[in-house]
Amino acid sequence: LTNVNPQIKTLKSHVEITEPNTSEININIPEYDATSDQLFVYLDGLLLSPVIDYTAAGSGSIAKIILTNAIQQTNDNYIDFIVFKIDL
């Protein structure tokens, strides 16, 4: 048995919603790897639930989320993305 000392790196992105009826939003974290990283999505500070509130598509610079229900108005709406990368 070898000792494993995992390192957790936190990556963040903040996106202001400027168009009504927005449903697709780029994650804007080029280091994001959908196969190994943990993604957390917040809409106006509220944590969204994967599958129920959104689906994620792609990795890296082309990664995006698709909201189940589009944002209808743009009254200072924003999305925060937080990615946890675990390096073993």
This prediction has a pTM of 0.90
Tell me the C-alpha distance between 80 and 43, whole Å.
7
Question: Would you tell me how many other CB atoms lie within 10 Å of the CB of residue 27?
Answer: 25
Q: Which two structure tokens, joined as six digits, stand for 83? A: 């990615």
What does pLDDT average to over the chain? Answer: 93
Query: pLDDT tens for residues 47-79?
Result: 999 999 999 999 999 999 999 999 988 788 999
Question: Would you tell me how many other CB atoms lie within 10 Å of the CB of residue 31?
Answer: 13
In this model, does residue 1 exceed pLDDT 60? Answer: no
Tell me the C-alpha distance between 44 and 16, whole Å.
10
